[in-house]
Amino acid sequence: MDRQRHLVRGASARDRSRPADAGQGRGLGRREFLRYAAAGATVLGAGSALAACGGSSSSPGPGSSATAGKPKRGGTLTLGAQGGASNDNLDAHNPLTNADYPRIFALYSALVTLDTNAKVVNVLADEITSNKDATVWTVKIKSGVETHKGKTFGAKDVLYSLRRISNAKTPFPGAAVLTPLDLQNARVLNATTLQLPCKTPFSTFVDSLIDPFCLMVPEGYDPKSPDGTGPFMYKSFTPGVRSEFPRHPNYFENGKPYADDLIITDIPDEQSQVNALLGGQVNLINFLSSDSLAALQNGAVNVVISKTGGWNPITMRVDMAPFSDVRVRQAMKLIIDRPQMLDLVFGGHGRIGNDVFGYYDPLYDHSLPQRHQDIEQAKSLLKAAGHENLTVTLTTSAGIGQGIVKTAQVFAQQAKAAGVTVNVNAVTASTWFGQDYLKVPFGQDYWFYLPYLVNVPQVTIPGGAFNTPHYDNPAYTSLYKQALATTDESLKADLAHQMQKIDYNDGGLIIPYFPPVIDATAKNVHGVVQSPSFPISNYDWASIWID
Amino acid sequence: MAQMALEGAAVTRRRWRDDHPILWLAVSRTLFGLLTLLAVSVIVFAATTVLPGNAAKAILGQTATPARVRALELQLNLDHSVWYQYWAWLTGVLRGNFGISYAARIPAWQVVGPRLANSAVLVALAGVIGTVIGVGLGALAAVRRGGRADDTLAVVSLGVTSLPEFVVGIALVIVFATTFWHVLPAVSLVPPGSTAWENPSVLVLPGVTLVIVIVPYILRMTRAATIEALESDYFENARLKGLSPRRLLLVHALPNAIPPVVQVIGLNLLYLAGGIVVVETLFAFPGIGQGLVNAVDDRDVPVIQLTVLLLAAFYVFVNILSDVVSLLASPRRRLPRS
pLDDT of B281 above 90: no
Task: Flag if A48 and B189 touch (Cβ within 8 Å).
Answer: no
3-state secondary structure A102-116: HHHHHHCECCEEECC
| Longest distance between any two alpha carbons in chain A, whole Å | 129
pLDDT band at A409 (very low <50, low <70, confident <90, very high): very high
β pairing state of A284-288 and A421-427: unpaired
Counted across chains A and B, CB pairs separated by less than 8 A come out at 199
Most confident range, picked from A414-418, B67-71, B321-325: A414-418
Mean pLDDT, chain A, integer: 87
Nearest CA among A314, A315, A326 for reference residue A473: A326
Residues of A within 8 A of B118 (CB-CB) are: none
| Longest distance between any two alpha carbons in chain B, whole Å | 86
Supply the pLDDT for residue A463.
83
* Å between A242 CA and nearest CA of chain B: 7
From the list A19, A44, A269, which residue is nearest B331 (CB)? Answer: A19
B188-242 residue pLDDT tens: 887 777 777 888 888 899 999 999 989 998 999 889 888 888 888 888 888 888 8
Number of H helices, E strands in chain B: 14, 0
How far apart CA B152 and CA B140 sit, in angstroms, is 12
| ipTM score assigned to the predicted complex | 0.73
Nearest CA among B183, B223, B296 for reference residue A428: B296
Residues 6+ apart with CB under 8 A from A129: A137, A138, A140
Residues of A within 8 A of B71 (CB-CB) are: 169-170
Could you say which residues from 466 to 485 on chain A have a Cβ atom under 8 Å away from some Cβ of chain B?
466
pLDDT band at A28 (very low <50, low <70, confident <90, very high): low
Task: Flag if B335 and A41 touch (Cβ within 8 Å).
Answer: no
Task: Flag if B104 and A265 touch (Cβ within 8 Å).
Answer: no
pLDDT of A528 above 60: yes
Q: Is A58 on the interface with B (CB under 8 A)?
A: no
Supply the pLDDT for residue A23.
41
Q: Percent of chain B having pLDDT more than 70?
A: 94
A6-20 residue pLDDT tens: 444 434 444 444 444
How far apart CA A321 and CA A389 sit, in angstroms, is 15
Residue type, A20: A
pLDDT band at B1 (very low <50, low <70, confident <90, very high): low
How far apart CA B13 and CA B7 sit, in angstroms, is 10
How far apart CA A543 and CA A259 sit, in angstroms, is 9
Supply the pLDDT for residue B294.
84
* Å between B68 CA and nearest CA of chain A: 6
How far apart CA A480 and CA A461 sit, in angstroms, is 9
What pTM does this model have? 0.80
* Å between B8 CA and nearest CA of chain A: 20
From the list B53, B68, B328, which residue is nearest A431 (CB)? Answer: B53
Supply the pLDDT for residue A42.
59
Mean pLDDT of A277-302: 89
Could you say which residues from 412 to 441 on chain A have a Cβ atom under 8 Å away from some Cβ of chain B?
428-431, 433-435, 437
Q: Which run of H or E residues covers position A244?
A: strand A242-246
β pairing state of A391-397 and A421-427: parallel
* Å between A547 CA and nearest CA of chain B: 21
Q: Alpha-carbon torsion A417, A423, A428, A433, what sign?
A: negative
- Chain B interface, best mutation among A42, A78, A86, by max B CB count within 10 A: A86
Q: Is A276 on the interface with B (CB under 8 A)?
A: yes
Query: A146: helix, coil or strand?
Result: strand
Q: Is A189 on the interface with B (CB under 8 A)?
A: no
* Å between A107 CA and nearest CA of chain B: 20
Residues of B within 8 A of A282 (CB-CB) are: 187, 189
Supply the pLDDT for residue A107.
96
Q: Which run of H or E residues covers position B132?
A: helix B108-143
Task: Flag if A437 and B203 touch (Cβ within 8 Å).
Answer: no
Task: Flag if B186 and A26 touch (Cβ within 8 Å).
Answer: no
- Chain B interface, best mutation among A272, A277, A438, by max B CB count within 10 A: A272
How far apart CA A154 and CA A145 sit, in angstroms, is 8
From the list A17, A28, A265, which residue is nearest B328 (CB)? Answer: A28
From the list A170, A271, A272, which residue is nearest B71 (CB)? Answer: A170
Mean pLDDT of A391-413: 91
Residues of A within 8 A of B173 (CB-CB) are: 275, 279
Q: Is A86 on the interface with B (CB under 8 A)?
A: yes
CA atoms within 13 A on the CB side of A262: 25
pLDDT of A207 above 90: yes
Cβ-in-10-Å burial (0-12, 13-18, 19+) of B333 comes to middle
A32-80 residue pLDDT tens: 776 766 666 555 545 444 444 333 333 332 233 334 678 999 999 999 9
pLDDT band at A363 (very low <50, low <70, confident <90, very high): very high
Q: What are phi and psi of B55, to 5 degrees?
A: -60, -40
